């Protein structure tokens, strides 16, 4: 189609997108219409002249992808998909209503949204994942990501800039809506476009500066981005916030404010109506959208994962067993991929890199972009295992939160958890990671204690439908499970029990072995305890915990290499909260220090000696229900 015919149609679509955004936010009584208006021309040209997609099949695996990182402009996104024919335009007026999937910021409740956005600085990281996925499946689909200029103050944006450049993602095109106004004040560089360009070029991107309301310039920029090889492109579009409405254009005080009924709304709509232009020929641009090729055949179901080959008593760190486990998954399922943050030789994800270098993605020391990219990969059908030290994973806490909101199947592995890592000291000791992940209602949290349980749980995690966190340990621990033992997400293992147990000790990971030592010491002294390996920290087996507590005098002792808040103790206490069972929590209760692992376990109150003391203390109390 020639430009003379195309441009008027795109201009009219952009005007409708502005009108729809204003009307939707007006009906909602909240929202960000001026942020939508600034980007309307960019989105109109992208959706109706550049992208290849099927509005009726938005999850098509070969479609171009669009991620709205500036998620507060959600009404613009919804208006574009309605214009394309994905749903009826009347639904736009349900924006932000509790019964509507058109939420204030986009979530994957909508089939055309890959990942939840709105926590700024995340969309561009997820876009890296969708671009990497195109490479994984040998597709030429492209990924586009619209970010805000204020958003570029976020460090995660520059983690993404580094990562995409290093990977040479020429199938990734970013678009910065440089409208110069943030929420509370003008943005950092306002309309100094060269300040943006010099930064993106310094990070290795091809930067294009344009007038973001000149449709010819926008189309030229998209074409130039498509033709660029060997590096990603960032289109820097100078725009006006509130474009199209004279009294909002470039003015402060309009962020997050819908127009008021009466003069504001009527005047704005009247001004926009006058901006429609006659087209030289009648063209239905939504019907002209280029569709992707036919859907490929789905891959065959993967074969069974090879069973563990360890023998009881073998000394193997669970972090090493994790590396072995993901290789075994990769051998039977080509959609399994791995991501690293420059600790592959400590998490043992390097085993996966050696076996499958084309499915291993190095993010260097950039945990936010690692988790964000994993989200993008998962949204496009991959099973990504992202690994780092558990303490460094907490740097990406907001990305973990957004992964939970997105409910994408990312699999996170945090190694070197707790004081049991030893001499490296408190900066390296994750003691809050279980709390971070347990706080999200749909993240499964797994904490294996030996190599067999690690392999089994990693395989379960891969095909669990939502996000999973796997906590692994640095020290070598003995294999205690048979290769025939069965594990489930939401399960536990009772390792020791008798009718005479005076208390139940619930442990996980390294503290399982402290509990077993305590069992032996108490047994030698003529006392018995029940020992449970709570390998599934979330969800937990409430029924089994209650049964164990009731069978042992209403006494449960939890012991964990984690701070007291949010970990195993809280999980168990919640599980038995509707009973009279008492939960005594043993955890790290102060900032630790360097030392040998066994010294630290003892000093901070979670060693076998402390468990013995705790059992004797609680067993000397009157049992629950006694008179």
| Residues with a known catalytic role | 367
The neighbour count for residue 509, using CB atoms within 10 Å, is: 29
- Return the percent helix, strand and coil in the chain, to nearest 5: 40, 15, 40
| Residue whose structure tokens are 């379960």 | 460
The neighbour count for residue 346, using CB atoms within 10 Å, is: 18
Radius of gyration (C-alpha) of the chain in whole angstroms: 28
What tokens were used for 316?
């193997």
The neighbour count for residue 491, using CB atoms within 10 Å, is: 17
**CA 220, 225, 227: angle at the middle one, nearest 5?**
95
**CA 379, 383, 389: angle at the middle one, nearest 5?**
105
Q: Does an H or E element contain 199, and which?
A: helix 193-202
Which residues, in sequence order, are bridge partners of residue 361? Answer: 339
Distance, in Å, from the CA atom of 380 to the CA atom of 132, rounded to the nearest integer, reads 10
Q: Show the beta-strand stretches assigned E in 131-216.
A: 143-148, 172-178, 206-211
Of 172, 28, 178, 188, give the one whose Cα is nearest residue 99.
Answer: 28
Q: Return the C-alpha torsion angle 250, 253, 259, 262, nearest 10.
A: -100
- DSSP summary character for residue 331: H
The neighbour count for residue 5, using CB atoms within 10 Å, is: 14
What tokens were used for 395?
């740097």
What tokens were used for 528?
């018995």
Burial class (CB in 10 A: 0-12, 13-18, 19+), 500: exposed
List C-alpha distances in Å: 518 to 376, 405, 529, 612: 45, 41, 9, 6
- DSSP summary character for residue 303: P
Residue 313's SS3 state is: coil
Cis peptide before 539 (omega within 30 of 0): yes
Q: Give Cα 225 to chain centroid, integer Å.
A: 28
Distance, in Å, from the CA atom of 438 to the CA atom of 274, rounded to the nearest integer, reads 54
Distance, in Å, from the CA atom of 305 to the CA atom of 463, rounded to the nearest integer, reads 12
How does DSSP assign 410-455, residue by residue? Answer: -EEEEESBSGGG-TT-GGG-BSSHHHHHHTSTT-EEE---SHHHHH
Pairing of strands 65-68, 143-148: parallel
| Cβ atoms of residues 239 and 34 within 8 Å | no
Find the distance separating the first CA and the last CA of the chain, reported in whole Å.
89
Q: Provide the angle, in degrees to the nearest 10, between the axes of the packed helices 155-167 and 123-136.
A: 20
Q: Among the residues of 431-501, which ranges form H helices? A: 433-438, 451-462
């Amino acid at each position: 189609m020639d430009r003379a015919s195309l441009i008027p149609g795109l201009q009219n679509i952009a005007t409708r997108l502005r009108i729809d955004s204003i009307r939707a936010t007006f009906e909602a009584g909240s929202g960000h219409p001026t942020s939508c208006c600034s980007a309307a021309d960019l989105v109109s040209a992208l959706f109706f002249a550049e992208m290849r997609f099927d509005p009726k099949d938005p999850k098509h695996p070969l479609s171009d992808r669009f991620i709205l990182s500036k998620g507060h402009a959600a009404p613009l996104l919804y208006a574009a998909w309605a214009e394309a024919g994905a749903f009826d335009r009347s639904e736009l007026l349900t924006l932000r209503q509790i019964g509507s999937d058109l939420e204030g910021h986009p979530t994957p409740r909508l089939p055309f949204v890959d990942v939840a956005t709105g926590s700024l600085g995340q969309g561009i990281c997820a876009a890296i994942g969708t671009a990497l996925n195109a490479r994984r499946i040998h597709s030429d689909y492209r990924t586009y990501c619209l970010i805000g200029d204020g958003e570029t103050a976020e460090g995660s944006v520059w983690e993404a800039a580094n990562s995409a450049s290093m990977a040479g993602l020429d199938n990734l095109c970013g678009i910065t809506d440089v409208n110069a106004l943030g929420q509370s004040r003008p943005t950092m560089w306002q309309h100094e476009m060269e300040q943006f360009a010099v930064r993106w070029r310094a990070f290795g991107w091809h930067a294009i500066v344009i007038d973001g309301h000149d449709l010819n310039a926008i189309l030229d920029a998209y074409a130039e981005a498509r033709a660029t090889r060997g590096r990603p492109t960032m289109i820097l579009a100078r725009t006006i916030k509130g474009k199209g409405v004279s009294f909002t254009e470039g003015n402060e005080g309009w962020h997050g404010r819908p127009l008021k009924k009466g003069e504001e709304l009527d005047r704005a709509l009247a001004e926009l109506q006058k901006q429609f232009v006659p087209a030289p020929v009648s063209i239905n641009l939504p019907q002209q959208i280029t569709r992707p090729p036919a859907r490929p055949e789905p891959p065959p179901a993967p074969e069974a994962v090879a069973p563990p080959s360890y023998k009881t008593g073998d000394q193997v760190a669970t972090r090493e067993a994790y590396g072995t486990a993901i290789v075994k998954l990769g051998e039977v399922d080509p959609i399994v991929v791995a991501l690293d943050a420059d600790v592959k030789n400590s998490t043992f994800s390097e085993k996966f890199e050696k076996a499958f270098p084309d499915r291993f993605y190095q993010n260097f020391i950039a945990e936010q972009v690692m988790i964000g990219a994993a989200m993008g990969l998962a949204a496009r059908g991959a099973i990504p295992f992202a690994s780092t030290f558990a303490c460094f994973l907490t740097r990406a806490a907001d990305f973990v939160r957004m992964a939970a909101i997105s409910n994408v199947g990312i699999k996170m592995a945090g190694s070197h958890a707790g004081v049991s890592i030893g001499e490296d000291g408190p900066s390296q000791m994750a003691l809050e990671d279980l709390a971070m992940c347990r706080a999200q209602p749909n993240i499964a949290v797994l904490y294996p204690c030996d190599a067999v349980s690690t392999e089994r749980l990693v395989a379960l995690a891969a095909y669990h439908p939502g996000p999973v966190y796997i906590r692994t340990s640095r020290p070598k621990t003995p294999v205690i499970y048979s290769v025939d033992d069965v594990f489930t997400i939401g399960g536990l293992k009772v390792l020791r029990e008798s009718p005479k147990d005076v208390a139940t000790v619930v442990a996980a990971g390294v503290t399982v072995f402290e509990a077993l030592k305590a069992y032996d010491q108490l047994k030698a002294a003529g006392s018995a305890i029940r020992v449970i390996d709570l390998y599934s920290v979330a969800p937990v087996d409430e029924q089994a915990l209650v049964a164990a507590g009731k069978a042992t005098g209403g006494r449960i002792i939890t012991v964990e290499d984690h701070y007291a808040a949010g970990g195993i103790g809280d999980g168990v206490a919640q599980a038995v909260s509707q009973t009279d069972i008492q939960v005594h929590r043993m955890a790290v209760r102060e900032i630790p220090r360097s030392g040998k692992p066994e010294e630290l376990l003892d000093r901070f109150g979670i060693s076998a000696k402390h468990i013995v003391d705790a059992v004797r203390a609680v067993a000397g109390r009157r049992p629950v229900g006694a008179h």
